Structure 1
Amino acid sequence: MRNLKTVFASLFIASLTLFTSCDPDDDGESIDILEVLEYNSIQGFYEVNGIQDQDYTLNAVTGGSVIGENGTIVTFPANAFVDENDNPITGIVDVALKEIFTPSEMILSNKPTNALSFSNENTFLLSEGETEVRISQNGNSLHLANGINYQVSVPSAGGLDYEMLPFSGTTSDEEGIVWTPNGDVGVGGSGMEYVTAPASYIYDVFNTGWSNCDKFYNYPGVQTTNYINLINSPNAAETAIFLIFEENNLPAVVKFTTPYANGIQSYIDMLPEGLTVTYVAITVENNQQYLAMEEVIISDEEELTLNFELKSTQEILDALSILD
């Protein structure tokens, strides 16, 4: 990650070229407006700026593969789909695919790497890629036939790692997504392999929806809790907080959703002390959006107060791309 002082210096220069207007507020004073958005909630921000569907078609009887724009390959066997009454599907079906690899995509799509451990405790992951697959025919959702699975192949950025596992995700507006492991056996076990040409992980998926190839983040040192004070947020109720770092070219994007008296806190005793991370906060108020970013070294029981700035959509996209 580049030094954030350099990033914001570049963004400030770029912002000078943006069109701004001044409207009087109730006291007759002027306020800067970069753009008026069609949405006024953080969910609207995700819907507009998050990764969108890639649309494909497939013959349900013969099966086959679809290849995403960023290299994800999804392969279906023959006669894989049934309708809501478990009737076999024939003919052409629609495949909607989303593939997410980078921190900016995870933030913009509200798809962090928050997870539950084997013992059902809150934790987070280092990701090789998140994939959503949805199947439909004539606008009606389909699902997999009993005993059928499909395969997902994702390009590998970190190389062979025997701690990699397949996960499935459960979505919600607040948390975005929470990942749970599909078994405790990864590479070398049944249903998951690593290939070198091109470097990829291939794993079995047993339900349509969100899946990924990730590993639990393990830290042997002291871990702590951090707190984000939202006193400076223009709209604390609509503020999303993310923590981002990378290890071995793999991103971890952790979303904070637990409230405390002054704002939002991390999982208890889950953040590695001494680790350099970037905090990102985004909020929406009066059809405008605000961004706060700060690179910090995690300290014991630290409370941080972030500084929010009015930003255009392009400024937010540019700032987040520096994290990739």
Structure 2
Amino acid sequence: MKTQKQNFTNLKNSKVVNRILKNALGVMVLASLASCSNDKDEVLVPQPDGVALTERFNDNRENAVEEFILDAATGGIIIGTQGTQVTFQPNSFGLNGTPVTGNVTVQLIEIYDKASMLLKNKSTLGQRVNGDKEALKSAGEFFINAEQGANNLELLEMASVQSKPVDFADLDGGMQIFRANGDGIDNDCDGIDATCDWVEADEDGNGEKDDAQIRDGQGADGAFATYNYNIGTFGWTNLDRWYNYTGAKTEIFIDVPAEFNQDNCAVYLSYDGEPTALARMDVYNTELEMFTEHYGLIPVGLEVHIIMVAEIDGQLNYAIQGTTIVEDHIEVITSLSPITQSALEALINGLP
């Protein structure tokens, strides 16, 4: 690997330095431990807790669920607190292929900002048809489901989804429909080390990718527009476009403090200038003991922020570092600091 342009900064708590010094310090450490073992009780240092971080992500998703009651026979419209609107046709809720009657409970999660994506562990990583993985820019992520009693229901007729109002200046005509893991189901995406990718959708089964439609509107504050699309099954959908870049690209490695690994923390790459482009560093190189990504397609010269989160002794901890990507980039994170979730949300959504 080339190293002449690598970012080696803040090496005090780096795994690179730790590995270099390990053999030289081994004898000294053993001698020190032996001399101190009888002096006083060992001081226990709080360790990162991957289970607690996973629970935080899952709790954040559960707490974001909004519920609505509809009559199955008539269908109807639900509107989320952020403005997402879903319209259901009559008799479109089913169980084992048969329409149900009576009231049904419709569930909705709407995600429109980078902090929500990170703290609900729903980053924007897409998978191409050939298996290649690339970052996506999102115009909204949505979970839609329906239940009746203890039964999860099926969607028998297409439902229409309308995003929150969007300023004309922020519209992106290249948005497509993506599904979590290709089918909208993310049961295997709960762990912090899980890989959950967005795949281009074919909701109407015609063998072609689905594009979002843009519709003009008029509200109290003037003209606006919305993204609109249809879904044929319940689960997670995402309005996205590929983060296409034609210049030179490179790999990036994140060197984290020695006590951290893929089982107890999460590391993300936030693209500056893109308020909804957040890639998960979801590969942990056990030989190098660094985080990286699948595809080696990070644009050289791109300005980004590295975000790392962990749960330590019941407290959310974080690190945020800004950098400009160079060839064969290595970014070193030396320490994390405690923070409240609301304060971290404000920091992330305030990034450039």
TM-score range (shorter-chain normalised) is 0.7 to 0.9
Query: Against the structure 1 CA distance between its residues 39 and 118, is the aligned structure 2 distance closer, same or farther, given a 3 Å change threshold?
Result: closer
Q: Does 2:110 match 1:82?
A: no
Q: Does 2:146 match 1:153?
A: no
Q: Which one has a larger percent helix, Structure 1 or Structure 2?
A: 2
Partner of residue 182 from structure 1, selected from 190, 196, 201 = 201
Query: Against the structure 1 CA distance between its residues 161 and 213, is the aligned structure 2 distance closer, same or farther, given a 3 Å change threshold?
Result: same
Q: Distance in 1 between matches of 2:174 and 2:231?
A: 18
Letter in 2 for 1:207: T
Structure 2 residue aligned with 1:196: 216
- The residue matched to 2:347 in structure 1 has which SS? helix
CA apart distance, 1:235:
5.9
Partner of residue 68 from structure 1, selected from 41, 66, 80 = 80
Partner of residue 252 from structure 1, selected from 264, 277, 283 = 277
Letter in 2 for 1:177: C
Structure 1 residue aligned with 2:15: none
CA contact (8 A) 2:132 2:295 kept: no
What percent of counterpart residues are identical?
A: 25
Q: Which moved more, 1:64-73 or 1:176-185?
A: 176-185
Q: Does 2:153 match 1:142?
A: yes
Q: Deviations over 1:33-83 (max 9, x none)?
A: 9xxx99952201212344610111111111111001111111111111111
How many aligned positions are there?
Answer: 287
Q: Does 2:299 match 1:272?
A: yes
CA apart distance, 1:268:
2.9
Q: Does 2:252 match 1:226?
A: yes
CA apart distance, 1:255:
0.5
Q: Distance in 2 between matches of 1:257 and 1:235?
A: 11
1:1-324 counterparts in 2 under 5 A? Answer: 26-27=41-42, 40-50=51-61, 52-83=64-95, 85-145=96-156, 148-155=157-164, 156=166, 159-170=170-181, 171=186, 172-173=189-190, 174-175=193-194, 177-183=196-202, 184-187=208-211, 192-197=212-217, 198-234=224-260, 237-247=263-273, 250-260=275-285, 261=287, 262-314=289-341, 315-323=343-351
CA apart distance, 1:250:
4.7
Calculate the aligned-residue CA RMSD, in Å: 2.6
Letter in 2 for 1:79: N
Please, which runs of 5 or more residues in structure 1 have no aligned partner?
1-24
Q: Distance in 2 between matches of 1:92 and 1:299?
A: 57
Q: Distance in 2 between matches of 1:281 and 1:141?
A: 35
Structure 2 residue aligned with 1:18: none
Structure 2 residue aligned with 1:12: none
CA apart distance, 1:292:
1.1
1 or 2 for the larger relative contact order (CA 8 Å, sep ≥6)? 2
Q: Distance in 2 between matches of 1:242 and 1:213?
A: 20
Structure whose alpha-carbon radius of gyration is higher? 2
Q: Distance in 1 between matches of 2:149 and 2:55?
A: 27
CA apart distance, 1:301:
1.0
Q: Deviations over 1:90-140 (max 9, x none)?
A: 111001100001000000000000111233311121000000001001131
Q: Distance in 2 between matches of 1:176 and 1:45?
A: 17
Q: Deviations over 1:156-186 (max 9, x none)?
A: 3664433211111132133463111114555
Q: Which moved more, 1:250-259 or 1:227-236?
A: 227-236
Q: Distance in 1 between matches of 2:170 and 2:227?
A: 9
Q: Which one has a larger percent strand, Structure 1 or Structure 2?
A: 1
Query: Against the structure 1 CA distance between its residues 150 and 119, is the aligned structure 2 distance closer, same or farther, given a 3 Å change threshold?
Result: same
Query: Against the structure 1 CA distance between its residues 163 and 139, is the aligned structure 2 distance closer, same or farther, given a 3 Å change threshold?
Result: same
TM-score by structure 2 length? Answer: 0.74
- The residue matched to 2:276 in structure 1 has which SS? strand
